[in-house]
Structure 1
Amino acid sequence: MTLYTSMPLELVLDGVNTQPGPFVDVVHGGVKMQVEPVSPGIGRIVRLLECPLDAYLDPQYAPGTIVTYASTVG
């Protein structure tokens, strides 16, 4: 693989060997999503797991959005 970039290689490959997480599966507004906890009851959306297709176009469910949640699923 060839990678053409003007950025230093250290910045491009930063974090490539680290494991992401911990993640929590929550249901918010009828959408099951994976969130990364930021503080108790507050998390950042990582990805949507189970939802209607139009939820992918809704900005409130975009990855990186902060959501509040009360309980976890599985």
Structure 2
Amino acid sequence: MTIYSIMPPELVFDGINTEPGPYVSLIVGDVTLQIEAVSPGVGRIVRLLEAPLDAYLRPELSPGTLIPYGQPTT
């Protein structure tokens, strides 16, 4: 594979060897989400695992959205 870029290779390949964070499955109503923990009690939606078709059009369920989950530990 050849990559043509004006950016330095250090920026292009930054993070290529790091594993993504631990993911958690969360059920919200009739939707099963895969989220990545950002802080205690807050997660970022990675993708929808199981959902009715109209759930993909809901902006509050779009990937990258921060949502509360679980009980925050203090």
TM-score range, shorter chain: 0.7 to 0.9
By how many angstroms is 1:30 displaced? Answer: 2.2
Task: Name the aligned partner's letter for residue 46 of structure 2.
Answer: V
User: After TM superposition, where is structure 1 displaced by more than 2 Å over at least 4 residues in a row?
Assistant: none
Q: How many residues align?
A: 71
Q: Distance in 1 between matches of 2:55 and 2:10?
A: 36
Larger Rg: 2
Q: Distance in 1 between matches of 2:33 and 2:6?
A: 35
Task: Name the aligned partner's letter for residue 16 of structure 1.
Answer: I
- Which secondary structure does the structure 1 equivalent of 2:48 belong to? strand
Q: Distance in 2 between matches of 1:7 and 1:57?
A: 35
Q: Tell me the C-alpha RMSD between the 2 structures.
A: 1.5
Higher relative contact order, structure no. (Cα contacts within 8 Å, ≥ 6 residues apart): 1
**Could you list the runs of 5+ residues in structure 2 that have no partner in the other structure?**
none
TM-score calculated relative to the size of structure 1: 0.82
Percent of aligned pairs sharing the same letter: 61
Q: Distance in 2 between matches of 1:23 and 1:6?
A: 33
Whether 2:29 is the aligned partner of 1:29: answer: yes
**Could you list the runs of 5+ residues in structure 1 that have no partner in the other structure?**
none
Whether 2:38 is the aligned partner of 1:44: answer: no
Q: Distance in 1 between matches of 2:58 and 2:12?
A: 30
By how many angstroms is 1:29 displaced? Answer: 3.3
